[in-house]
Amino acid sequence: MGVGVLRRYKDFLPVTDATPQLTLGEGETPLVRSNRLGKELGCDQLYFKLEGCNPTGSFKDRGMVVAFAKALEANSRAVMCASTGNTSASAAAYGAYCDLPAIVLIPKGEVAMGKLAQAMSYGATIIMVNGNFDVALELVRDFTFKHEVTLVNSVNPDRIEGQKTAAFEVVDDLGEAPDFLFIPVGNAGNIVAYWKGFKEYKAAGLSHKLPRMMGFQAEGAAPIVNGAPVSNPQTIASAIRIGNPASWQGALDARDASGGVIDSVSDDEILDAYRLMASKEGIFCEPASAASVAGLIKLRKAGLDLAGRRVVCIITGNGLKDPDLAVTSAVNQPIEVEPTMEALESIGLAKPP
Ligand SMILES: *Cc1c(COP(=O)(O)O)cnc(C)c1O
């Protein structure tokens, strides 16, 4: 029925009687079992968590609903975030829903068309910054420190609280935590949120093990893998084009405590996985989301044995977010014909009966 994460997971969230019960229907996203890719990878229990099914098309809504509820509870007058696109789309939507003005700072020329369209439609105040995401986040941190505006990037702990509910759902659906969780890493809030969620569920006796956390950055934006910030991060996966992740240490902690890895994948590997997801699984995700699948394919090729293992890939956002890339990168181009039977039959679409 779409009760929302605030109500469904109330006992695990910083919710009090004074917290408004907001929901745009976030959460309860499908966990879909792989039909083709898993077999090819020798992984018979591969699942995709479709976070693109959230109200604004990415997992950001889970954290945003909690951040807005707490902001309203604290009588905030406005919220602000820096964003590669999805955070701004989400903040703009909840801003409209709650009548709480949202101010979003986006790096000029770097936000995918679908995300920009959302923020503009929902009516946020959009500030285009001549600089990258990291610069924009720095500005937002300084501004919200100085002025009475609530910061709703994932450095706000309420965002992490909301996002951890996705880990709860994975366990609720599988009846146990998976063996491996593959996830893209940008600002690194989400990997921290999942790890927190898995730990809390286990502590509550609702699962009995913890997954290995397998985080993937894009090669041109891989500060955690390189061990140093990247001043000019570059990748087609704009949602993870981040050179100095806010939750850097938390990501390392999740990796080390879970026996996982944080590795990188190239743009070519991301694009391959992006196309495979759509053409072999019927799942159209955004490029950043495909980094999780690209990471799985990379480690499988390197010899990771997945037989009998339960693997979940987090598909963080919807492919419609970045329609330009979808059209320009597609292998499958439309075939143009005159509107006649002869023309249609001349293509050789089917044999006669
Ligand atoms: C925000 C985002 C990410 C990265 O998540 P972090 O918490 O910044 O690591 C990955 N994919 C999509 C689609 C996103 O919107």
Per-residue pLDDT, 351: 80
Block residue for tokens 């004074």? 18
Q: What is the number of the ligand 1 atom nearest to the C-alpha of 215?
A: 9
CA of 132 to the centre of ligand 1 (A): 16
Residue nearest to atom 15 of ligand 1 (CA): 86
pLDDT at 346: 93
Mean pLDDT to the nearest integer, 326-343: 92
Q: Is the pLDDT of residue 350 over 90?
A: no
Nearest ligand 1 atom to the CA of 242 is: 8
Section 165-174 average pLDDT: 98
pLDDT, averaged across the chain: 96
Long-range contacts of 133-136 (CB under 8 A, 24+ apart): 133/82, 133/83, 133/84, 133/107, 133/187, 133/233, 133/241, 133/242, 133/243, 134/229, 134/233, 134/242, 134/243, 134/244, 135/107, 136/82, 136/83, 136/105, 136/106, 136/107
Least Cα distance to 313 among 19, 50, 36, 8 occurs for 50
Q: Which of 58, 83, 154, 194 to mutate to test the pocket of ligand 1 (most atoms within 8 A of CB)?
A: 58
Q: What is the pLDDT of residues 100-149, one digit of tens each?
A: 999 999 999 999 999 999 999 999 999 999 999 999 999 999 999 999 99
Q: What's the 185 CA to ligand 1 centre distance in angstroms? A: 6
What pLDDT is recorded for position 185?
98
Centre of ligand 1 to C-alpha 346, Å, is 46
In testing the pocket of ligand 1, which one of 49, 187, 293, 325 has its CB within 8 Å of the most ligand atoms? Answer: 187
Distance 326 CA to ligand 1 centre (A): 18
Q: Please write the tens of the pLDDT for every residue from 68-96.
A: 999 999 999 999 999 999 999 999 999 99
pLDDT of residue 178: 98
Whether 99 has a pLDDT exceeding 80, the answer reads yes
Q: What is the pLDDT of residues 207-246, one digit of tens each?
A: 999 999 999 999 999 999 999 999 999 999 999 999 999 9
Ligand 1 centroid–CA 162 distance in Å is 14
pLDDT in tens, 196-209: 999 999 999 999 99
Nearest-atom index, ligand 1, CA of 185: 9
Average pLDDT over residues 271-284: 97
Residue 2 pLDDT grade (very low, low, confident, very high; cuts 50, 70, 90): confident
Residue nearest ligand 1's atom 8 by CA: 187
Residue nearest to atom 14 of ligand 1 (CA): 239
Q: How does pLDDT run across 36-63, given as a tens digit for each residue?
A: 999 999 999 999 999 999 999 999 999 9
> CA 193, CA 316: separation in Å to the nearest integer?
13
What is the pLDDT confidence band of residue 344, given thresholds at 50, 70 and 90? very high
| pLDDT for res 353 | 76
CA of 11 to the centre of ligand 1 (A): 26
d(CA 60, ligand 1 centre) in Å: 8
Residues 6+ away with beta carbon under 8 Å from 151? 79, 80, 81, 140, 141, 144
Mean pLDDT of the 254-276 span: 98
Check residue 352 and give its pLDDT.
74
pLDDT at residue 331 in the model: 86
Closest protein CA for atom 5 of ligand 1:
186
Q: Per-residue pLDDT tens for 12-43? A: 999 999 999 999 999 999 999 999 999 999 99
**If pLDDT is split at 50, 70 and 90, which confidence band does 332 have?**
confident
Q: Cα of 239 to ligand 1 centre, how many Å?
A: 5
Per-residue confidence at 154, pLDDT binned at 50, 70, 90?
Answer: very high
Question: Pocket residues for ligand 1 (CB within 6 Å)?
Answer: 58, 60, 86, 154, 184-190, 239-240, 286, 288-289, 316-317
pLDDT at residue number 176: 98
CA 38 / ligand 1 centre spacing (Å): 24
What's the average model confidence in pLDDT over 298-303?
97
Q: Quick one: tokens of 175?
A: 């009846």
Best residue for ligand 1 mutational test, from 118, 240, 286 (most atoms within 8 Å of Cβ): 240
Q: Tell whether the model's pLDDT for residue 163 goes beyond 80.
A: yes
SS (H, E, C) 149-213: CEECCCCCHHHHHHHCHHHHHHHHHHCCCCCEEEEECCCCHHHHHHHHHHHHHHHCCCCCCCCEE
Span from the CA of 140 to the centroid of ligand 1 (angstroms): 18
